[in-house]
């Protein structure tokens, strides 16, 4: 019988993989929408971390869970703002290609 | 009244100082009133000075100690400065002499300066000048003395450059001021050292402490202090090598030259050394330095005076020479002889300068003695008083200069300074020669038809007559047979030198020889053929003397080569190192690094994010390597 024991390490590895995928996406995607989605991935990696620590380190308290809910809330707001910015840019440029968005340049 | 004057001797400098203030702020628009205020101030000072001097010289206890009173000027932990009055025979004689000669010069100046647009200003300056000198003389504290000393320097600057429209006058004023400043710096350092070592600048206290200086410092330090202090008098009293300003000081109005040369300025240096003799006498080498400087200056200036052509320049070099005598007397330890010569010199030098001023007024400021001649017929008073001055300075008995010069020579001989004695004796011969050269050329011989001299008005001739009388009888207080002078004014022990007939006869012979030589060359020989032939024959020496040993040129060269050269070096350092490397380098570095860093700003968010990420990574790795606990936390997670 194959026993699968899922411990803190496994959660953290999963979280790290998810964070890495998100980071890679953020750094490499051309599409602004895709970048936003990848940010969500990174945030959720953090959420997994928070919940795993909550479960294994302080099971009697709910600090980690509360933090995760906070992160979800903030992420929702952030996506709202981010999408609004992208739409505004799209109206100007008729594009969501990040390579064309270099207005912060000197 | 006498007691009042002695107890309130501060009134002596105060009265001319008040005259200065009154003229500057009130009476400046009214010329005659200004002159009256100035004369009233100085004559008032003279009256008080005479009363105070009378008081001092009728109380024999003053030979033992001096009357000192004053107030505390400033006080802080470790530093207490008093200002006060120190009345003793020396200072009593000085205030009497200074205020007397100044009074006569002021009266003379009312005639000489007539019609000058700066008439009132002139009288305010000379009042301040006299006040500063009187303050200097009466000071009981070295710092107080220094204030007077610097005020004298300031007034000489203002008065030498009085004719501001003349470039030469402005240059001479600057020269006098700068030269004296260089010297004063030494004096200031010396005073600071005295304050540091002995903790006081009060003259009586300093005298006591320096008498036991081994408790405070070593002989080496005291020697250094003495040399530093002596630097001040070298500048102020025109000793070699800082004498250069004094001959140029004749650029000012002639009464100023008389004041500077006779009463108020140059004797300050001699007086300071006399006052500080308790310091110098502790250090034999310092005394030698004073004596040698004096003797050398006396001879050096006398040789220059032989060849000069301008009447006031000859007199100026003779002042330098006579000051050398006074320094020589101090150096061989005789305050008495030095002050005596200062006393007689004040009379005959003021007399001769004012006589020269009288001549210059009559000849419309044509100063070359070779272009004068025969003035005795048109200006008898000026000429004959000048002759009295000439006899006095040459050292012909019974005129004043004979007694004082004789005393200096005798003292030098008695203290076994044979070389210095010989220099002094030879200078006496030269003095008689150049002074009588001047007299024969200017006042006797044939009249120059280009000149139309007239005798000066009474307010110029009366002071001349009074001074001529003083130059005649002024030395009788110090004859070797009954030397009243040295019983009052002395340093250490009263000097009881027997009359030295050898020195007396010798110096008279030397003086007569000088006069005879001048008579032969410049009077008998109407065409001056011999004199010109001599100048031709010794052309090299003549040129050297005529150009005053090129001392001015040497200073000029020094300025050009050393001062300007090093300034150029510093200029280049400033341009290339300070400006080039530091200032511009910093700017260029900032600009270039900005240019370089600009390229990294791509404006793309993802690049920035990558940099964030790499930064975090680097910090994490660095932490992991630097501290094991951080490494455990980062890599091992939670245990």
Average pLDDT over residues B580-585: 88
Q: Spell out which residues of chain A touch residue B609, defining contact as CB-CB under 8 Å.
A: 26-27
The pLDDT, as a whole number, for residue B565 is 87
If you measure CA to CA, which chain A residue comes closest to B637?
A9
Cβ of B598 within 8 Å of Cβ of A106? The answer is: yes
| Residues of chain A with C-beta less than 8 angstroms from the C-beta of B613 | 23, 27
Q: A43 lies in which domain range? A: 8-100
pLDDT at B631: 67
Residue A16 located in a structural domain: yes
Answer yes or no: is A68 within a domain. Answer: yes
Contact B249, B260 (CB under 8 A): yes
Q: Which residue of B has its CA nearest to A12?
A: B637
What is the pLDDT, as a whole number, of residue B588?
Answer: 92
Instruction: Point out the residue among A23, A35, A105 whose CB comes nearest to the CB of B603.
Output: A105
pLDDT exceeds cutoff 90 at B590: yes
Closest residue of A to B613, CA-based? A23
Residue with more model confidence, B120 or B542: B120
Nearest CA in chain B to A53: B638
The number of domains in chain A is 1
Interface of A with B (CB under 8 A): 8-9, 12, 23, 26-28, 35, 53, 57, 98-99, 101-106
Comparison of pLDDT for B42 and B444, the residue scoring more: B42
Quick count: other Cβ atoms within 10 Å of Cβ B333? 24
Query: H helices then E strands: how many in chain A?
Result: 3, 0
A105 within domain boundaries: no
Task: Determine which of B594, B602, B604, B614 to mutate to test the interface with A (most A C-beta atoms within 10 Å).
Answer: B604
Domain range annotation of chain B: 283-546, 548-601, 602-639
C-alpha distances in Å from residue B361, one per residue of B172, B372, B415: 21, 13, 46
Which of B601, B604, B637 has the CB atom closest to A99's CB atom? B604
* Residue-level pLDDT at A21: 94
Q: Report d(CA B161, CA B155) in Å as an integer.
A: 10
- What value of ipTM does the predicted structure carry? 0.82
Residue B639 binned pLDDT confidence (cut-offs 50, 70, 90): very low
Q: How is A28-50 classified by DSSP, letter by letter?
A: H-SBHHHHHHHHHHHHHHHHHHH
Rounded Cα gap, residues B592 and A67, in angstroms = 47
Among B148-152, B335-339, B622-626, top mean pLDDT goes to: B148-152
What local confidence, expressed as pLDDT, does residue B267 receive? 87
pLDDT for residue A69: 93
pLDDT at A46: 93
What's the mean pLDDT in B567-589? 90
Q: Which residues of A touch B598 (CB under 8 A)?
A: 106
**Contacts with B610 from chain A: Cβ below 8 Å:** 27
For residues B91 and B99, give the distance between their C-alpha atoms in angstroms, rounded to a whole number. Answer: 12
Average pLDDT score over residue span B425-430 = 88
Residue-wise pLDDT tens digits, B552-570: 788 888 888 888 888 899 9
Distance CA B138, CA B524 (A): 49
Among B603, B610, B613, whose Cβ lies nearest the Cβ of A103? B603
For residue B638, the model assigns a pLDDT of 46
**In a domain? residue A19:** yes
Q: What distance in Å separates the CA atoms of residue A95 and residue B261, rounded to the nearest whole number?
A: 99
Contact residues on chain A for B636, CB-CB shorter than 8 A: none
Nearest CA in chain A to B636: A9
3-state secondary structure B272-309: HHHHCHHHHCCCHHHHHHHHHHHHHHHHHHHHHHHHCC
A70 within domain boundaries: yes
Q: What is the pLDDT of residues A47-74, one digit of tens each?
A: 999 999 898 888 888 888 999 999 999 9
Output B525 or B36, whichever has higher pLDDT: B36
| Per-residue pLDDT at A2 | 63
pLDDT category of residue B82 using cuts at 50, 70 and 90: confident
Kindly determine whether residue A102 and residue B603, on different chains, have CB atoms separated by under 8 Å.
Answer: yes
- Which of A26, A57, A89 should be substituted to probe chain B, the one whose Cβ sees the most B Cβ atoms within 10 Å? A26
Question: Do B606 and A105 count as a contact with CB atoms less than 8 A apart?
Answer: no
| Nearest residue in B to A98, CA atom | B604
At residue A84 the predicted structure's pLDDT band, cuts being 50, 70 and 90, is very high
Find, among B292, B314, B295, the residue nearest to B305 by Cα: B314
- When the pLDDT of each residue in chain B is averaged and rounded to a whole number, the result is 85
Task: Check CB contact under 8 Å for A57 and B609.
Answer: no
Test the A interface: residue of B606, B610, B633 with most A CBs within 10 Å = B606
> B174: how many CB neighbours lie within 10 A of its CB?
15
- Domain of A21, CATH number, reads 1.10.287.3510
Rounded average pLDDT over B542-560: 80
Q: What is the average pLDDT score of chain A? A: 88
Sort out which chain A residues have CB atoms less than 8 A from B594's CB and list them. none
Please tell me the distance from the alpha carbon of residue B255 to that of residue B252, in angstroms, as a whole number: 8
pLDDT tens, residue by residue, B497-523: 677 788 888 888 888 888 888 888 877
Confidence class of residue A19 from pLDDT cuts 50, 70 and 90? very high
Percent of chain B with pLDDT over 90: 6
């Amino acid at each position: 019988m194959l026993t699968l024991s899922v411990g803190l390490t496994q959660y953290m590895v999963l979280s790290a993989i998810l964070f890495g995928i998100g980071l890679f996406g953020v750094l490499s995607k051309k599409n602004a929408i895709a970048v936003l989605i990848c940010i969500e991935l990174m945030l959720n990696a953090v959420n997994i971390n928070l919940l795993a620590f909550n479960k294994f380190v302080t099971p009697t308290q709910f600090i980690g869970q509360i933090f995760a809910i906070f992160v979800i809330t903030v992420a929702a707001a952030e996506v709202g703002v981010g999408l609004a910015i992208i739409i505004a840019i799209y109206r100007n440029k008729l594009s969501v290609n990040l390579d064309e968005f270099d207005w912060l340049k000197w | 009244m006498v007691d009042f004057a002695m107890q309130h001797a501060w009134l002596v400098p105060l009265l001319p100082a008040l005259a200065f203030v009154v003229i500057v702020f009130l009476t400046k628009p009214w010329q005659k009133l200004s002159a009256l205020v100035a004369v009233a101030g100085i004559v008032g000072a003279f009256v008080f000075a005479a009363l105070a001097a009378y008081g001092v010289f009728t109380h024999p206890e003053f030979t033992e100690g001096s009357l000192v009173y004053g107030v505390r000027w400033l006080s802080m932990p470790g530093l207490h400065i008093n200002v006060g009055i120190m009345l003793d025979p020396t200072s009593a004689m000085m205030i009497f002499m200074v205020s007397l000669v100044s009074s006569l010069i002021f009266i003379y100046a009312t005639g000489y300066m007539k019609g000058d647009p700066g008439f009132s200003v002139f009288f305010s300056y000379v009042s301040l000048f006299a006040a500063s000198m009187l303050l200097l003389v009466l000071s009981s504290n070295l710092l107080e003395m220094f204030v007077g000393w610097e005020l004298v320097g300031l007034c000489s600057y203002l008065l030498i450059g009085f004719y501001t429209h003349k470039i030469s006058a402005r240059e001479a004023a600057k020269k006098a001021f700068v030269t004296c400043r260089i010297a004063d710096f030494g004096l200031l350092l010396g005073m600071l050292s005295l304050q540091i070592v002995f903790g006081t600048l009060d003259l009586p206290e300093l005298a006591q402490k320096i008498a036991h200086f081994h408790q405070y410092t070593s002989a080496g330090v005291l020697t250094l202090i003495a040399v530093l202090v002596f630097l001040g008098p070298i500048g102020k009293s025109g000793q070699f090598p800082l004498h250069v300003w004094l001959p140029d000081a004749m650029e000012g109005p002639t009464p100023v030259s008389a004041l500077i040369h006779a009463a108020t300025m140059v004797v300050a240096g001699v007086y300071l050394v006399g006052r500080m003799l308790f310091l110098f006498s502790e250090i034999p080498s310092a005394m030698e330095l004073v004596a040698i400087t004096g003797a050398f200056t006396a001879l050096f200036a006398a040789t220059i005076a032989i060849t000069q052509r301008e009447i006031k320049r000859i007199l100026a070099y003779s002042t330098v020479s006579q000051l050398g005598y006074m320094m020589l007397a101090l150096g061989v330890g005789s305050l008495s002889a030095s002050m005596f010569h200062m006393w007689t010199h004040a009379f005959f030098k003021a007399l001769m300068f004012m006589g020269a001023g009288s001549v210059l007024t009559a000849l419309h400021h044509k100063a070359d003695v070779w272009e004068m001649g025969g003035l005795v017929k048109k200006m008898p008073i000026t000429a004959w008083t000048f002759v009295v001055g000439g006899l006095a300075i040459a050292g012909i008995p019974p005129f004043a200069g004979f007694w004082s010069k004789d005393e200096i020579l005798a003292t030098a001989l008695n203290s076994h300074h044979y070389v210095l004695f010989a220099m002094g004796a030879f200078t006496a011969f030269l003095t008689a020669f150049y002074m009588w050269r001047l007299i024969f050329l200017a006042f006797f011989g044939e009249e120059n038809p280009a000149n139309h001299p007239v005798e000066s008005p009474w307010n110029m001739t009366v002071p001349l007559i009074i001074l001529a009388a003083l130059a005649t009888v002024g030395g009788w207080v110090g004859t070797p047979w009954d030397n009243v002078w040295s019983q009052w004014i002395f340093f250490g022990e009263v000097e009881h030198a027997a009359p030295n007939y050898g020195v007396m006869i010798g110096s008279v012979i030397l003086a007569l020889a000088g006069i005879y030589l001048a008579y032969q060359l410049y009077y008998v020989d109407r065409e001056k053929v011999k004199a010109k032939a001599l100048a031709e024959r010794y052309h090299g020496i003549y040129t050297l003397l005529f150009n005053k040993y090129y001392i001015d040129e040497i200073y000029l060269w020094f300025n050009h080569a050393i001062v300007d050269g090093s300034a150029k070096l510093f200029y280049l350092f400033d341009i290339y190192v300070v400006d080039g490397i530091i200032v511009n380098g910093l700017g260029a570095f900032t600009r270039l690094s900005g240019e370089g860093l600009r390229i990294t700003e791509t404006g793309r968010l993802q690049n920035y994010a990558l940099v964030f990420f790499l930064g975090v990574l680097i910090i994490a790795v660095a932490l992991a390597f630097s501290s094991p606990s951080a490494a455990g936390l980062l890599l091992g997670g939670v245990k």
